[in-house]
Amino acid sequence: MFNVNDPQNPVLADEYGIVMGTSHHEPLTRAHEKWKHAGKGPWNYQTNTAALQEFWRGGMKRMGTRENIVTVGMRGDGDKPMSEGSNIALLEKIVADQRKLIAEETGKPAEQTPQLWALY
Q: What is the pLDDT of residues 40-87, one digit of tens each?
A: 999 999 999 999 999 999 999 999 999 999 999 998 887 787 877 778
Q: Looking at residues 10-17, what average pLDDT do you find?
A: 90
Q: Which of 48, 71, 47 is nearest to 59 (CA)?
A: 71
Pick the CATH number of 2-117 from 3.50.30.60, 3.10.20.30, 2.40.70.10, 3.20.20.520: 3.20.20.520
Q: Which of 30, 43, 22 is nearest to 116 (CA)?
A: 22
Q: Which pLDDT belongs to residue 54?
A: 97
Q: Give kind and range of the element (H or E) at residue 41.
A: none
Contact in structure between 4 and 34 (CB atoms under 8 Å): yes
Q: Which amino acid is at 49?
A: T
85-119 pLDDT tens trace: 778 899 999 999 999 999 999 999 999 999 998 77
Whole-number Å distance between alpha carbons of 87 and 98: 17
Q: Give kind and range of the element (H or E) at residue 35.
A: helix 32-38
pTM for the whole thing? 0.89
Q: Which pLDDT belongs to residue 120?
A: 63
